[in-house]
Structure 1
């Protein structure tokens, strides 16, 4: 099998590319995952160096390459598809090969000269895909959820400000789409803010669960091929490197087999998506018309709404947020059966 001369990946990645040409979308699109994989490999190298099971020079070289990856270099070399068989082995091997070959390049050696730095024996020392991949995914999720929470807070605060601004705007409250009792527009928007605040809290509660990792479990949780001290050491180093307080699971066999936290996060995201979609539908309804609909609010005009009807403006932002929400809801079904 031929491998491009300038590729940092190797034979294991090439086989994955041949076996899984499904999405045509490489894992490189998930920046958080690539950086998390680099951090996991970096922590492993430090732990192996500390325990004396990996040559110090090799460990330092692995760490140097990992820092390059975290600095957004080499991401285009992570080419395996996002859908693949083997529980992430292709992704792990892609990572190992990129780190090894970049290390060889730094030493002035040719790609594939693994006698001096091996993707499995050195970069993957004391590891298995079954502890590396879930740990990296959890770390990447922590990165992503924290960014999401920042945006979620901004949206919540924006609705709260509108609640204050519209406090004296009287309108009709409705149930079952029928006129019911009076309320203010401020009360409506304050309600939006409070429901979003609840989801902010629920999403934040998931992060500590994501911080429990199974590094040191290796293949099935027994820790085979790893020094008994490795689990503690790699967890400590990963916490120091990332600034995220990680904890080793008390039962590595259970932790290696259990995917509950992924369902918990996915379900929490679905909850937030459904509630946000409901808000979007309310905004579309309240702004409908404006002449023959409710027309109670005017959404900011973002772009022309028609190529044939002059002046028509569509609620494009609530519509696109709905589309994203539907995607999250669908992804939750996939996570559930996966």
Structure 2
């Protein structure tokens, strides 16, 4: 492999000649050969947005050479566009402050910025990764800022649209089946009737609630700790740097960000992301419930509940011909298992705020991004491949409704709980209908039973 010599404060090191990074990135590659989990590209994009904003603000507040500002902006735009992802190879399992990822960005931007200046014939100016790209900054405030910037972008651009799409389709299904009466189930046992639309309305409201919780918790993540530099004091950053960079990021990205009220908090605590990931866990729990309900309702087709029909996307068995399995439910519920595990990792990592710095930052943002990606992809896939094509088997619903013993609940106001229980037990023991048991018991006439037990009248308060 052809290499070039790069230098840092430790000394010289060889870097592949076709890579834009420098010495510190190369040292990280050689010192942390752990796993295959890389810093997410969403964090790389957020870092580039931050470096661009910082360069623009440094030009205004600290007189950074306008040619350097232009060159850094040019390089950052290339990264933001996703053209240089191969030049950001570092793994999650590195320094807990994310210093090496910050330097990876500084080195790549400096390399590309200097090439830009050379192409323009600006030979008297050179961009330095620390002195210029990292001007007024520290890894300790840039990495947590990039964490927040990336989270807000992903949530706004991908996660929330997936939630809204899922919610809207459930709303349409609720309306479609609003009058279709079926049996309810509690404790996996027969219960009183409801409409299929009412059942779906519960699912829909889960998405409504989760959308609100995600949106509300995301407000805290909009707070950026840039400007705190090393320990939160703002050493080497100009007054107003935090507010100016936050405003510039809002302008660049088109999303709302604000300066942190306390940089000492922002460097050492990640409670905002713990809170936000809690909302993701709530969405995962609800997604599991919806997918699992559909899986159980579709069980069969002849020996299960069989009240709903799901799309047949692929053969379900390598040995049983004609079998169709609820694979979309299986995939989405596996996704939720991963997210609940991620929540434990995020929560524990957030406890590691030692004095002025939390040193588990990369693993926190890796799990937050993965959870959002899995939820966005999982909900979208389930929506497209299952939910849209979900249909009711009205015949089966009517059959199970009429066979249920729990319709006897409608008799409570007329003959009392204990007498109603006698009828239900008699019907079950003798394998007869409720109507037959009621008449045979002498507690009701046929006319009274028909008047009192009307499933369609049992779906709302009277």
Q: TM-score, normalised by structure 2?
A: 0.70
| Structure 2 unmatched ranges of 5 or more | 1-12, 350-462
Q: 2:81 aligns with which of 71, 78, 94?
A: 71
Query: Partner residue of 2:131?
Result: 121
Deviations 1:280-336 (A, max 9, x none): 111111111111111111111111101111110111111101111111111000001
SS at match of 2:168: helix
Counterpart CA distance in 2 for 1:107 and 1:64 is: 10
CA RMSD across the alignment: 1.7
- Find out whether 1:44 has 2:60 as its counterpart: no
SS at match of 1:220: coil
Query: Partner residue of 1:169?
Result: 180
Counterpart CA distance in 2 for 1:148 and 1:183 is: 32
- Find out whether 1:255 has 2:257 as its counterpart: no
Counterpart CA distance in 1 for 2:319 and 2:36 is: 37
Counterpart CA distance in 1 for 2:164 and 2:254 is: 22
Counterpart CA distance in 1 for 2:54 and 2:170 is: 45
SS at match of 2:308: coil
Query: Partner residue of 1:194?
Result: 205
Deviations 1:40-79 (A, max 9, x none): 0001001111023421111111011111111111111111
CA contact (8 A) 1:39 1:238 kept: yes
CA contact (8 A) 1:211 1:244 kept: no
Query: Partner residue of 1:23?
Result: 35
Who wins on radius of gyration, i.e. which is larger?
2
SS at match of 1:67: helix
| Runs of 4+ more than 4 Å apart | none
SS at match of 1:172: strand
| Structure 1 unmatched ranges of 5 or more | none
Query: Partner residue of 2:240?
Result: 229
Shift of residue 264 of structure 1?
0.4
How many pairs align?
A: 333
Counterpart CA distance in 1 for 2:18 and 2:241 is: 35
- Find out whether 1:316 has 2:327 as its counterpart: yes
What is the 5 A alignment of 1:47-196?
47-108=57-118, 116-146=126-156, 147-196=158-207
Counterpart CA distance in 2 for 1:4 and 1:165 is: 61
SS at match of 1:269: helix
Counterpart CA distance in 1 for 2:198 and 2:265 is: 47
CA contact (8 A) 2:48 2:77 kept: yes
SS at match of 1:107: helix
CA contact (8 A) 1:9 1:97 kept: yes
SS at match of 1:3: strand
SS at match of 2:193: strand
Counterpart CA distance in 2 for 1:328 and 1:173 is: 30
CA contact (8 A) 1:40 1:136 kept: yes
Query: Partner residue of 1:210?
Result: 221
Counterpart CA distance in 2 for 1:236 and 1:197 is: 30
Counterpart CA distance in 2 for 1:155 and 1:228 is: 45
Q: 1:13 aligns with which of 25, 38, 51?
A: 25
Counterpart CA distance in 2 for 1:245 and 1:292 is: 53
Shift of residue 130 of structure 1?
1.3
